[in-house]
Amino acid sequence: MDNDRLRECLEEDYTRLRKVAAGADLSAPVPSCPDWTVAELVDHVAMVYLHKVACMKYGRPQEWPPETGGEEPLPLLERAYTELTAEFAARPPTTSAYTWYEPDQTVGFWVRRMAQETVIHRVDAELGAGVPIAPIPTDLALDGIDEFLVAFVSYGSRAWAEEFAEALAAAAGATVHVSAGDRAWSVEISADGVTVTPDGSTPSAATVSGEPDDVLLWLWNRAGDGAVTTTGDLTAFRRVLVAATQ
């Protein structure tokens, strides 16, 4: 996806998240994030935005969580989004910026990451508010699947080896074919990490397939097994996914 399209999706999902949260009981629990209320979800998204603004401004890792000054959740979210989009508007996507993903140290990484962060948490807000989940555009969902498997699972399994060690040991030797729309990915798990091949060409013992939005939400544990079609034993793979989303 190009930068303009990602910015467009970010705007749409932020707007939906803000609207849903404004009409919700902020004390309501978020079923997909059991430790959070809707207010805490909104706070989290706002703090993520402010954290990334600082990463781009200062070009180095920033402390988490950022200082928010005790603002109420919705005004804080609005301010944070305004600062985030102003930062994106001021910097071409190819501009150098600190990110946690070593292969891509650019502002463009954060545009993509914030678009994907926002769509998942927009769904969380809808679940917490008890309203219908708005459709996720196919291009955004496919991009999100790719980002999740390549950056969070494959790269993450080596960058944060200690956090993945137990899950990798249990899943070593597992192979999974993930397919959605016209895209497919092959996932091979070893004790040393996860290898993702973005053409789905490697024979696999288990499969996950479905509509792009359903597969994306399944990977992020926002949809149950009934939302996708599966074959084989995915128990060990699920442990790796949990490690990737901590």
Considering 103, 129, 155, which residue would you say is the last residue of a domain? 129
| 17 lies in the same domain as 111 | yes
- In the predicted structure, residue 177 carries a pLDDT above the cut 90: yes
| Tens digits of residue pLDDT in 36-67 | 999 999 999 999 999 999 999 999 999 999 99
CATH of the domain at 46: 1.20.120.450
- In the predicted structure, residue 149 carries a pLDDT above the cut 90: yes
Angle at 171 between CA 167 and CA 176, to 5 degrees: 120
pTM of the predicted structure, to 2 decimals: 0.97
* Within a domain: 123: yes
* Within a domain: 135: no
What is the DSSP pairing of strand 206-210 with strand 175-180?
Answer: parallel
Eight-state DSSP code of residue 31: T
| Tens digits of residue pLDDT in 182-196 | 999 999 999 999 999
Distance CA(239)–CA(231), nearest Å, equals 17
State which residues form the domain around 168: 145-244
* Within a domain: 124: yes
pLDDT for the residue numbered 231: 97
| 154 lies in the same domain as 234 | yes
Contact 70, 47 (CB under 8 A): no
Considering 87, 103, 129, which residue would you say is the last residue of a domain? 129
| 179 lies in the same domain as 101 | no
| 120 lies in the same domain as 158 | no
Angle at 170 between CA 169 and CA 176, to 5 degrees: 105
CATH of the domain at 208: 3.30.1050.10
| Tens digits of residue pLDDT in 203-223 | 899 999 999 999 999 999 999
Strands of the sheet with 229-231, listed across from one edge: 193-197, 183-190, 175-180, 206-210, 229-231
C-alpha to C-alpha distances, 20 to 39, 108, 185, nearest whole angstrom: 12, 27, 33
| 116 lies in the same domain as 154 | no
What is the DSSP pairing of strand 206-210 with strand 229-231?
Answer: antiparallel
Instruction: Go through 11-47 and write b for each residue having 16 or more CB atoms within 10 A of its CB, e for each that does not.
Output: ebbbebbbebbeebebebbbebbeebbbbbbbbbbbb
| 125 lies in the same domain as 7 | yes
| 85 lies in the same domain as 156 | no
- In the predicted structure, residue 200 carries a pLDDT above the cut 90: no
| Tens digits of residue pLDDT in 104-117 | 999 999 999 999 99
Overall domain count for the chain: 2
pLDDT for the residue numbered 153: 98
| 199 lies in the same domain as 226 | yes
| 120 lies in the same domain as 173 | no
